[in-house]
């Protein structure tokens, strides 16, 4: 069976007239006349003609299903996919580890951001992250982590991390959100 809405994947809704156009396309692809399809679906040819041409603004679901059944099509109702947000914590830990033999884990990065404490063996990772990563990544990271903290705490921890890894205050301003 075919899903008549595969071509409509980027739209939120499908109008009845679009279903009519798809039924027409499927009917023609199968070499059926309007009279043949209408008879098989127990509709009048006039009703089918008006439906295919988008003139009918209201047609019962049973009549639509009868047409779809005759053409081997199905009507699917699905929940729209929620656009996923980037996982900035994962992206940042990956970016911080590019130049190093050992990786900075998401857990280590999150611990540093939540506490403001940086293990000595991870200072180079955090310095590279804060100096070299795009501002959008760092802003997204701070917005993601800020949801888990009291107001102002993340900024204090970021300033502490910047001082620990040897960043100047002007450099630390680059990765705080506006």
Closest Cα to residue 153, out of 111, 115, 110? 115
The answer for 116, left when phi > 0, alpha when psi is -120 to 50, beta otherwise, is: left
Q: What is the mean pLDDT of the chain?
A: 84
pLDDT value of position 56: 84
Residue spans of alpha helices (H) in the chain: 16-29, 34-40, 45-52, 61-71, 88-97, 106-115, 123-132, 135-146, 153-165, 169-172
Q: What pLDDT, on the 0 to 100 scale, is given for residue 50?
A: 92
Centroid of chain to Cα 39: 43
Residue with structure tokens 């988008």?
A: 54
Pick the more confident residue, 87 or 8: 87
Show me where the domains of the chain are located: 2-74, 88-175
**Percent of the chain with pLDDT strictly greater than 70:** 84
Contact 97, 104 (CB under 8 A): yes
- The helix (run of H) or strand (run of E) holding residue 41 is none
**Tens-place pLDDT, residues 68-109:** 999 999 887 777 666 677 899 999 999 999 889 999 999 999
Residue 2 β-bridge partners: 73
Q: Which residues, in sequence order, are bridge partners of residue 73?
A: 2
The confidence score (pLDDT) of residue 173 equals: 63
Cα–Cα distance, 149 to 160 (Å, whole number) = 16
| pTM (two decimals) | 0.52
| Per-residue pLDDT tens over the stretch 53-67 | 888 878 888 999 999
Q: How confident is the model at residue 161 (pLDDT cuts 50, 70, 90)?
A: very high
The tokens for 121 are 């063996």
Q: How far from chain centre, in Å, is Cα 151? A: 28
pLDDT for residue 168 is more than 80: no
Span 114-136, pLDDT tens digits: 999 998 899 999 999 998 889 99
Q: State which CATH number among 3.30.565.10, 1.10.3720.10, 1.10.260.40, 1.20.1090.10 fits the domain covering 2-74.
A: 1.10.260.40
Cβ neighbours around 152 below 10 Å, total? 9
Helix (H, G, I), strand (E, B) or coil at 100: coil
Burial (0-12, 13-18, 19+ Cβ within 10 Å), 114: middle
């Amino acid at each position: 069976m075919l899903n008549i809405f595969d071509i409509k994947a980027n739209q939120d809704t499908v109008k009845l007239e679009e279903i009519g156009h798809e039924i027409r396309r499927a009917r023609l692809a199968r070499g059926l006349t309007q009279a043949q399809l209408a008879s098989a679906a127990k509709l009048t040819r006039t009703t089918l003609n008006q439906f295919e041409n988008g003139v009918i603004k209201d047609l019962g679901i049973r009549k639509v299903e009868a047409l779809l059944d005759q053409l081997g099509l199905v009507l699917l109702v699905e929940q729209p996919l929620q656009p996923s947000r980037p996982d900035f914590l994962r992206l940042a830990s990956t970016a911080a580890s590019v130049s190093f033999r050992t990786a900075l884990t998401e857990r280590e990065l999150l611990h540093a951001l939540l506490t403001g404490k940086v293990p000595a063996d991870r200072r180079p990772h955090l310095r590279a992250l804060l100096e070299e990563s795009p501002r959008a990544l760092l802003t997204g990271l701070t917005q993601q982590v800020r949801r888990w903290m009291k107001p102002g705490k993340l900024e204090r921890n970021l300033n502490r991390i910047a001082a620990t890894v040897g960043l100047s205050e002007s450099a630390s301003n680059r990765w705080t959100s506006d």
